[in-house]
Structure 1
Amino acid sequence: MEKYSRWRDAGTGIQPFLPPVPPRTDSSILVTLSNVIHIVVGPIQAIIKITLISIVSALYFLFVPVFGALLTPIAPLKRLWTRVFSAILLRLVLFIAGFFHIKTETLSIRKSRGSGRVESSSVKNGDVIVANWTSYIDVVYLASRFVPVFTQIYTESEKIKIISLWEAIRLAGKIPESAPSSDDQVYTVQELSLKAKKGGWGPIVVFAEGTTTNGRALLKFAPIFKDYKVDQKDGQFQVMAFKYEYAGMSPTYTVGNQLFHFFKLCSQFHNTLIIKSLANGEAPCSPHSQVPATGSISDDPVGDLLIAAVGNISKLRKTNLSMTDKRDFLSYYESRKSK
């Protein structure tokens, strides 16, 4: 759309904030018939799915936050309880939403590894999951798989705040905030990682772009990894990338009414999610990672290495846009809608 052209990245020509246009298909009789069936059946299917998801979600909040709180004095048991019911109930939410099979791949970016066996990493307490952010579905998947600590980044801050699963889901479509309130407890990434490791909280999730994109490119990472050194060997980073394949509406979510987007997502007969992870020992600051021969001129060199790693496994190009540009885009979008 021409009115949003100011948010098209000059270097790549990519507009990462608008919903992607569905790929073109042949206008055969079978395709036309399928589209008609989808128009008729899709909304009915969505209503049924959302009803079932509401029931499962209620069970999740009953079993995990409510009953789980009773196990707080016994931390290991609480963690086990939370992991089991999150894995079952949140994966069931994704299944009902049409994500019947979620494909996972472990990739190596080392040329020296050749065609040898690629080992996946075991995600542990205190590990920092760094990934691109394209949808609230990313959040639900991570919660079902790892039961992590979710975090929020601010446009004017180099620190992060702990947020709940529900806050992380809602944050996907919100205008990025500039700074935390005076009552918020914020941490550097390394501080929170150490606290999570010591407390057995699970891994922490850092969507370093700070906001969602449509999955066509990467935004600049917020400079939140400054307290790490390039030659550090205890960074405990887990690098991942989310990719959605689609023929109709894309499950990526950047703008618009979130409930309506979820309704349309549930009206589709199936949805496809692919998770790509970096091979064991290849993330920056890991014990066996290779330190770059030349230093970076950036004030966040570890952040540069992380975005390069995400770009390598996702095959996404880095843009010169940031979460500040997304904030301006959403403000402009909302102002036009209100008129």
Structure 2
Amino acid sequence: MAEDRLSQLPDDILHLILDKIGIFQAVETAILSERWKKLWRSLPALRFHFSLPKDSYLSPCEHNRSQVLSHCHRVSRFLSRRDASAAVRAFHLSFRSNNASAAAHVLDLSLGINSHLDGGVESSFVEDCARYAIHHGVRSLHLHCHDLRQTWLPAEIFACKTLKELDLRDFIVNHKELDLPELEKLTLLKYLVLVPLVINAPKLRLLKLYGRIAVERIHAPLLTSLTYKSSDAWECADADLPVLEHVYLDIHKSRYCRDQNHTNFLAMLHQLRNATTVSLTLDTIKVEHSPNLLVIADEDDMAEEGYDFVVYEDGYEYGNA
């Protein structure tokens, strides 16, 4: 019999191999030999990605709900059988629809329209997953649940001392302060933020905000990259971003919000004045005819602030002179 040299590799190497296949396929390797029987139970990277039925968001039904609940049960059973002493480096959970029209529907709703879609992920399940990850020292946490149920996130997420990367999409947030001392990358796409956020992340380097997310104050002295996509400019009272380099702004019209107010746009640009380059989409710089909208000042006004301008085919960019 040929020597099984693969099984002689250390756990860290075998974990890397298992990480290249689906997590439930990794469980199936337990039948290979005694060496592999419990290896999956200490996997440090837990990634659960599920594709939902084609019309689960547009035509909810009991069948769709049963499929979603089945996925949740598989995750819960996996976690219950995992080695409780094993650390979690990454925990990613996502439920996505394969239907392009459903994806567009979700994108529109992300602008802040409240709705109720049946057949979705239970709030208690998401909370249990998040707490499991946090209690096991998670460093990268992704939670994507395209659902407008009232899915609340536990407060522990926003004060986690181990997180380096946080990506949250489509949740209701009722927690004001994000105090994350080790965080380096933050992505937020939410349907509803009940209170303006105070972001305190001294090591944050990359920030992406999508949707109508209110930010009251942000302290990120090492932030170098900011992406902001919304139907409104932000109204941030205090932005501490001294080393900001790259900014991408996409402030666009929403078909749901007819009376949009962009009067804060110039104030927003002033807060981002330390940036080396600021890229604006054509939607952002488009001059609206409504008297309630002010999208961008002319070049002469901005030149007084010390900026040079470059116009591209698909947008507008200016940088410090």
Q: TM-score of the superposition, structure 1-length normalised?
A: 0.28
Q: Which one has a larger percent helix, Structure 1 or Structure 2?
A: 1
Decide which structure has the larger Cα Rg and report it: 2
What is the TM-score of this pair, normalised by structure 2? 0.30
More strand by percentage: 2
